[in-house]
Amino acid sequence: MTHSVMIFPEFALENGRTLKDVPVAYKTWGELNKNADNAIVVCHSLTSDCDVENWWAPLVGPGKALDTEQYFVLCANAMGSPYGTVSPLSVDPLTETHYGLNFPIPTIRDTVNLHKKLLDKLGVKRIAFPIGGSMGGMQVLEWGFYGDFVLALAPIGVGGRHSAWCIGWSEAQRQAIYQDPAWNNGNYLLGEGPSGGLSIARMIAMISYRSFHSFQEKFGRTTVDKDKTALGHFAEAVGSDSDWVFSSDEEHFSVEAYLHHQGGKLVDRFDANCYLRLTESMDSHDVSRGRGNYSEVLSRIRQPTLVIGIDSDILYPLDEQKELSTYLPNATLEVLVSDHGHDSFLIETETVNRIVTEWRQTIVEPLLRKNK
């Protein structure tokens, strides 16, 4: 496995703005074959990075869905993310200061266009298939408009455009950040940003990523005693030593402690301006934008497509994947049955691995052999 950064002298965004000295962080596994047509592009979700083995390990390796013996597997960091690709944390070469909130809103299409430049530089002649869930699934669908360069597609837990429901969740999270006194209109020093607002934003998001049954099974009405020792034991159990702020000194529900834990974890590894720009990027998602009628635009995606939906997903409901499978002319719909909600594609990894492996072997590989 290698971890690299490639810098492009300039990159033009959809909005007409051109960025200079644009870094793209990426990781690869396996080798590109002599025909340069065995690439699998993994597209990450909102707060993930390009190290797929950190969050999708059961899918990576010999004989698995992302077979590193047969394929050249690549994951590039999205624009706006704090993990190496150009983002609000990057230094603007024109001002020699961090972009901060002056960083433009990158569209999902911008990210895919930038990643296409990366693949061209690496010598990739064809993608066997891109795969990803949530924000990653949005990128997968955009790859569908690259014609013969992309052989097949595997979007997971996503629709063809961001719904009002999803935009509403995103805006609630952004407002949590804006209301933090440390927000300062985005002009904060690195490491001194609106940690409270970002933590609350993550707490809101975590509720949308799960389901009623998931929370009920995991937490129910169990509590964590107000005694600090008991809180410490809970922190150890969930892997956190963060201090939590509660509304009273009484005992607290376990779900409250869990949400505080998740918020604290994100603050330790993420940036508020990056979070804002990424959620705005997701809100830009609409495959029909500038292309025509929605259903007709989807019908232009001719590649064989594995659409995976989750029956308990409240953020991107199964109806959205059913819609994709209706309008995409060569689609197969697989339903992941799980109580864990949207995050099921990151939790039920053995099932996802099996579904993708079977599809790759029966659909993608015969097409690869045919196109030799």
Q: Which active-site residues does the annotation give?
A: 134, 313, 342
User: How many angstroms separate the CA atoms of 140 and 279, rounded?
Assistant: 17
Three-state DSSP class for 247? coil
User: How many angstroms separate the CA atoms of 39 and 155, rounded?
Assistant: 16
User: How many angstroms separate the CA atoms of 318 and 307, rounded?
Assistant: 10
User: How many other C-beta atoms lie within 10 A of the C-beta of residue 85?
Assistant: 27
Residue 126 token pair: 């064809």
Nearest to 228 by CA among 209, 203, 211, 246: 246
Residue 115 token pair: 């990643």
Helices 135-143 and 272-283: angle between axes, nearest 10 degrees:
50
Nearest to 329 by CA among 357, 301, 361: 301
Strands 39-43 and 127-133: parallel
Nearest to 354 by CA among 338, 331, 341, 336: 336
User: How many angstroms separate the CA atoms of 372 and 370, rounded?
Assistant: 6
User: How many angstroms separate the CA atoms of 128 and 153, rounded?
Assistant: 8
CB of 310 closer than 8 Å to CB of 157: yes
How far, in Å, are 65, 114, 222, 297 from residue 149 at the CA level? 20, 15, 52, 18
CB of 266 closer than 8 Å to CB of 33: no
Burial of 99 (0-12, 13-18, 19+ CB in 10 A): buried
